Amino acid sequence: LVDTYALLISPFGPSSSQKEWIESSNDLEQAITINLLKKDNQRLRTLLSLQNSFAKERVSAAVIARNSNGWWQQLVINKGVNAGIKKGDPVIGPGGLLGIIESVTFTTSQVRLLTSPGSNIGVWVQRINGHGLLIGMGTNRTKLTFLDKDPKVKPGDLVSTSPASSILPPNLPIGVVQFFDQNALPAPYATVQLIASPEAIDWVQVLKR
């Protein structure tokens, strides 16, 4: 029956103008697809280039001093210029990013922690594909603010460095959203618990750029 029906309606198939329109639509779809693939390929190449701009060498260092009046602000490590460390190098601990080298001597470096008041870095929330600003509050947690008025963030969301960052290595884990206030004014915010706990760190690694 299906074959018979197909034979009966075959004379009423698409006209030549309809065929041209269909072919034109197909060509347009293929052109759009190719263009999107080119853009995605370029984006991936850019990300790879950004990742390669950071050297793979990591310098292990011991924490040798903390400021009792600024426990969540900074710490001092026992490596400096002699190990190739420079101001601005990222510092990681077990679990993720801890802070950034703020100053360097020949044998020591001072690390400004992400929890330090005044610290702020651009971050990425992968689940919502959205950017935010991570701000230190002088406690064991940080504050995450958004440009979007309705960011759809949830407790448990992973926060990392931006995949498009040119200042920090992309895709470094930072923390986990603990609390989100959708109704906060002037904008929604979240609190983030760092994965690498500054208060428990005795050894760190500096990512030489």
Q: Give tens-digit pLDDT for 173-200.
A: 999 999 988 877 777 889 999 988 888 7
For residues 59 and 85, is the Cβ–Cβ distance under 8 A?
A: yes
Q: For the residues 88-114, what does the mean pLDDT come to?
A: 93
User: What does the pLDDT look like over 44-100, one tens digit per residue?
Assistant: 555 455 445 454 588 999 999 887 777 778 899 999 999 999 999 999 988 889 999
What's the pTM value of the predicted model, to 2 decimals?
Answer: 0.71
The answer, yes or no, to whether the previous bond of 173 is cis (omega within 30 of 0) is no
Q: For the residues 9-25, what does the mean pLDDT come to?
A: 52
More confident residue, 87 or 126: 87
